[in-house]
Structure 1
């Protein structure tokens, strides 16, 4: 079958990792896959979209991302509608499409129904977009009303809907009350080969002492990721350690950073200020958009992962850590409740520096506990979230969807 993936911006993030893995999975099953996107920066993307593994075409990048610093959602929706028009007018005439896999923005789905050969439309809802919008004043609330209405109605126009966790499935039903849809749950997975290929005996990290005990946080530099929690918990950890232990402790914040994104710039500077206020300037390293190789090197080297978002829709980073036998300390909400097993592969904590610091202390002081949790974490990923299981389930979903009318 020929499958087209329609995605707004092929940057670096959990949503992008999911659609890339989905494309790789279907390609491995013998299907022909390609991407159509509004933006693809080859200096800020995953390797598979840069090295020719996946075909990528960009349309509509000339359309502004905002209007005088406002109306980001409107512009994002308009850019995707433009891409949908392109599919109908050009793409579907150049090649027969059996399936269009789209995510994040649903507004183009009704237009895609007019594509030649009537391809099936599969929509992956990472999380309702209207719930991701920051609260604003009265004018913003009015501005969002038609967008929220259109999001609900156009999502319902898809031939199939998938979500990334049982948590998101519940939120989906609570948000889109008019839709009589029970979305299927397709957990993101890991392409473990990409982790294994970077294995090396050199676990040194630039700027960090070789004997340092690293606590690692991997998240985009966005305020909703609650990165200050990692900094404050790390500061509290000092009181639970001896001076010799504290001297070895080092926190690394690593995550996606887009120089076009004002929030990324502002929040990065805010975190630097917090480090200085806590007296952690020499104890914290902050990395912007590290390569996959550096990220895996950090995971191989660290003692534990601090995963700070609350109500994260799924969260792929805990799986990455668990596969590399790293215990995970995460907030006891959202997707991590479905991936991290409390006191077995890590700890599920309240979103407080005290709770995180206490859990970190146990792992820091007890190397055998860290190793035991690491082994159990890797086993869990291989059993429940393997790329092979993901591939088999997605391929079956796609075939069932296409065969409904055949």
Structure 2
């Protein structure tokens, strides 16, 4: 914190543009950490939030309910695959992961299997910064290595990208199965852990092994959900319905904080009992906040009315073409594209503060981390705006090399 440069002051946003206090306008290449999928200040979302604000900005869900949260729960159950139709709302992605892990643990406790208290996660994983979520992040490459010995020790393995890797995963699961509650994975794209991609086949093999050994499967779709990888949810590309899924980020179109942990019927039924001790005892103060739910419902309207997935496909094609010239460029170790995600991986970590400043000088907001320069723009970005982002990446990356 002592050495970090002062942040840029933003004054307003519109579409894919950020206006700074000094009047400079930047094209946003990150959609505010991948949330503003429809662009900023979309009039449909704004109108919905304004109407909700006039009627009821917040109400507790303890013993009360409201129309926006009922509608949203039903709509999420309708767009999610399979029987993912029991929705628990919270206010942030990290908390939604905490709730998913708590559900998985209590799923087994409610059946008298309290020894199942550990989780399987993967190298390069990132699931959030709260305590349980930190424990399933990559303990070596992530931000939480200093808490080793304090965090619960989970089983962190490599994603199997070969037959040998699959065998190693199967052996580890077989050895530890009696103590494992669930496996948690970011499907297709491990985002904040390094923008690492894996195929639907790899994901399917991981899930098959987990289920063979009796583990619940949790998909963290906080970053990948709502169209980012080319389908509404990444799990669709592998034909998998996880036992529990976590959603946030683009859930409200980047307007308000809201998250959801959604469980399948067989998970829900393990909590359905005359015994009050079988209840899921968790109660975020702002769970199902009406303003957030109104924004999320309006965002789902836009996915239904406007060609968002077609726009993602167009972005994917343009990123693939525009970033291709950087392959083989000095200092670049890999270029990869998946949906509306373009990644240029460098062969070493540069001076990130300097790199971020150069992007501002080029008129764009791109925020590299570690050795990764990435673009995850709003789906409504125009071709000329996307081309400007690609140009800026090419210019700045070539300087690093």
TM-score between both structures, scaled by the size of structure 1:
0.28
Q: Hey, which of these two has a bigger chunk of helix by percent?
A: 1
